[in-house]
Amino acid sequence: VIYYEKALQLSGDDISLVREIGKAHVVTHDYNRAIKYYETALGNDSKLLDLSTDLAELYFKLKAFDEAKRVIIEAMKALNAMDDPDMTNPKRVQYTLLMSKIFLEEDVQVGEWRFKPNEDASKALYDALAVQEAVFDRVREISIDRVDEERKITAEINFKLAKYLEE
């Protein structure tokens, strides 16, 4: 962590180094420091979407579901302020999938859990699928190299949705 911080001082505001420092704190199980680091960086620039993703996933790991949802909602607001759907839609898919995962995990945390329909999780999965289909259609037009990758993501969403509906 110390070397990453020194490298960051030398290079200025290199976002990849900022992200690596946060990940290093997580790897060393210094979660409070990681959270503080991510929150500070996002406080300076809410459009650092990869940091938002890392922070939301960390909160999910720590079962701080309300905080994870807050981070995702703030990141979605930052996405809405951006004008480039080619860049923002893949992140929108990622965030809605993470949100559905949070909604379902919250249900599991309740004692004597039995599957019950979760409208928020269902809506998030359907929203993710709709946006991913738009991403897939756009990728077919502009970059044949990414078609297989986007097809896999679409299949994963369909699998998650089918699994959810089957339960």
Structure letter (DSSP) for residue 144: G
pLDDT of 63 strictly over 80? yes
Task: Return phi, psi of residue 116, to 5°.
Answer: -140, 150
Is the pLDDT higher at 40 or at 72?
72
Per the CB < 8 A criterion, the answer to whether 99 and 124 are in contact is yes
pLDDT of 4 strictly over 80? no
For the segment 110-129, the average pLDDT, to the nearest whole number, is 76
Confidence tier at 138 by pLDDT (50, 70, 90): confident
Is the pLDDT higher at 32 or at 140?
32
- Determine the pLDDT at residue 109: 65
Per the CB < 8 A criterion, the answer to whether 102 and 68 are in contact is yes
Encoded tokens for 88: 């923002």
CA torsion 18→19→22→28, rounded to 10°?
-120
For the segment 117-131, the average pLDDT, to the nearest whole number, is 87
How does the average pLDDT of the chain come out, rounded? 84
- Determine the pLDDT at residue 2: 73
Confidence tier at 74 by pLDDT (50, 70, 90): very high
For the segment 110-119, the average pLDDT, to the nearest whole number, is 63
For the segment 125-152, the average pLDDT, to the nearest whole number, is 87
| Cα–Cα distance measured from residue 4 to residue 116, given in angstroms and rounded to the nearest whole number | 45
Confidence tier at 111 by pLDDT (50, 70, 90): low
| Cα–Cα distance measured from residue 40 to residue 45, given in angstroms and rounded to the nearest whole number | 9
pLDDT of 57 strictly over 70? yes
- Determine the pLDDT at residue 9: 66
Is the pLDDT higher at 89 or at 107?
89
